[in-house]
Amino acid sequence: MTIELQYPDINSKDAFQSVIRFWGRVPSIVASQILRTLADKYFDGSLNGRIVLDPFGGSGSLIFEAARLGADCIYSDVNPVFTFIASTLVKPVKEEILKRFFEVLRQRLLSKRYPVYLSEKLVHISYWDLYSIRIEGEEFFVYKTVVDPIIFLRGEWSERTYRDLLSRSGFVYKLAATIYYKFKDRREYRYSRLREEVLRENSDKLSSVKLNFTKALRLLERLGLLFTKFYPSAVFYGKLEGDGFRVLERICEVPFAVMRHLVDLEERIRPSFWYPNNELRYPPDLGGRVFRKADAHARLSELFTRRNLTALSILWHEICNLPERNYDEKCAKDALKLCFIAILASASRMQHRKGGSWAVKSYWTPYDFVEYNVWYLFERKFKAFLDFKKRMEEEGYRELWRRVSFYTLDVLEIDRVVPRGYVDVIIAHPPYYASIQYGELSFLWAAWLGVRVPFEREIISNSQQAVILSDGKVVPKDDSYFEERMREAFVKLHEVLKDGGILCIIFNSRSRRRKERFIRCIRDAGFEIVETYRCQQPRNYRYGISKFIKENLVIVCEK
Ligand X SMILES: C[S@@+](CC[C@H](N)C(=O)[O-])C[C@H]1O[C@@H](n2cnc3c(N)ncnc32)[C@H](O)[C@@H]1O
Give residues in contact with ligand X (CB under 6 A).
22, 24-26, 55-56, 58-59, 61-62, 77-79, 82, 410-411, 429-431, 438, 457-459
Number of H helices, E strands in the chain: 15, 21
Question: For ligand X, which is the closer residue by CB, 301 or 362?
Answer: 362
CA distance 471 to 477: 17
Taking the C-alpha atoms of residue 332 and residue 100, their distance in angstroms, rounded to an integer, is 10
If you ran DSSP here, which 8-state letter would residue 197 be given? H
In terms of CB distance, is 175 or 344 closer to ligand X? 344
Strands (E), 78-161: 113-118, 121-126, 132-135, 138-147, 150-153
CB of 473 to ligand X, least distance (A): 20
Residues 443/453, Cβ–Cβ less than 8 Å:
yes
Nearer to ligand X, 410 or 424 (CB): 410
- Closer residue to ligand X (CB): 82 or 363: 82
- Between CA 487 and CA 519 the distance in angstroms is 10
Give the Å distances, CA to CA, from 389 to 117, 311, 339: 39, 27, 13
What is the Cα–Cα distance from 339 to 356, expressed in whole angstroms? 17
How many CB atoms lie under 10 A from the CB of residue 505? 25
CB of 84 or CB of 363, closer to ligand X: 84
d(CA 477, CA 482): 7
Burial class, 64, CB count within 10 angstroms (exposed 0-12 / middle 13-18 / buried 19+): buried
Alpha helices in 422-549 (DSSP H): 438-449, 479-496, 512-524
Q: Whole-number minimum distance, CB 162 to ligand X, in Å?
A: 47
Q: Which of 501, 507, 549, 508 is nearest to 527 (CA)?
A: 501
Least gap, CB of 299 to ligand X (angstroms)? 23
d(CA 493, CA 55) in angstroms, rounded, equals 9
Q: How far is the CB of 435 from ligand X (least distance, A)?
A: 9
Of residues 79 and 214, the one with the C-beta less far from ligand X: 79
The smaller minimum CB distance to ligand X, of residues 82 and 369, is found at 82
CB of 503 to ligand X, least distance (A): 15
Rg (CA), the chain: 26
27-42: b (≥16 Cβ within 10 Å) or e: bbbbbbbbbebbbeeb
Strand partners, 122: 117
Does the CA dihedral 541-542-544-550 come out positive or negative? Answer: positive
Least Å distance, CB 170 to ligand X, is 34
Cβ(428)–Cβ(505) under 8 Å?
yes
In the complex with ligand X, which residue's Cβ is closer, 55 or 271?
55
Q: How far is the CB of 488 from ligand X (least distance, A)?
A: 10
Q: Cβ 62 to ligand X, closest distance in Å?
A: 5
Cβ proximity to ligand X: between 336 and 411 the closer is: 411
Other Cβ atoms closer than 10 A to 542 = 15
Q: In whole angstroms, how close is the CB of 543 to ligand X at the nearest point?
A: 11
In this structure, what DSSP letter does residue 229 have?
E
Q: Which residues of 175-197 are buried (b: 16+ CB within 10 A; e: fewer)?
A: bbbbbbbbbeeeeebebeebbee
CB of 25 to ligand X, least distance (A): 4
**Min. distance of Cβ 79 from ligand X in angstroms?**
4
Name the residue among 397, 429, 459, 426 with its Cα closest to residue 535. Answer: 429
Between 218 and 429, name the residue whose CB sits nearer to ligand X. Answer: 429
CB of 58 to ligand X, least distance (A): 3
Which residue's CB is nearer to ligand X, number 429 or number 559? Answer: 429
C-beta of 133 vs 493, nearer to ligand X: 493
- In the complex with ligand X, the residue whose CB is nearer, 350 or 436, is 436
CB of 59 to ligand X, least distance (A): 3
Select the residue whose beta carbon is closest to ligand X and give its number: 58
Nearer to ligand X, 300 or 460 (CB): 460
Identify whether the C-beta of residue 381 lies closer than 8 Å to the C-beta of residue 341. no
- Would you say 382 and 109 are in contact if contact means Cβ atoms under 8 Å apart? no
| Dihedral angle over CA of 245, 246, 251, 257, nearest 10 | -50
Q: Shortest distance, CB of residue 399 to ligand X, whole angstroms?
A: 21
Render the burial of 306-320: b for 16+ CB within 10 Å, e for the rest: bbbbbbbbbbbbbbe
Local structure of residue 194 (DSSP, 8 states): H
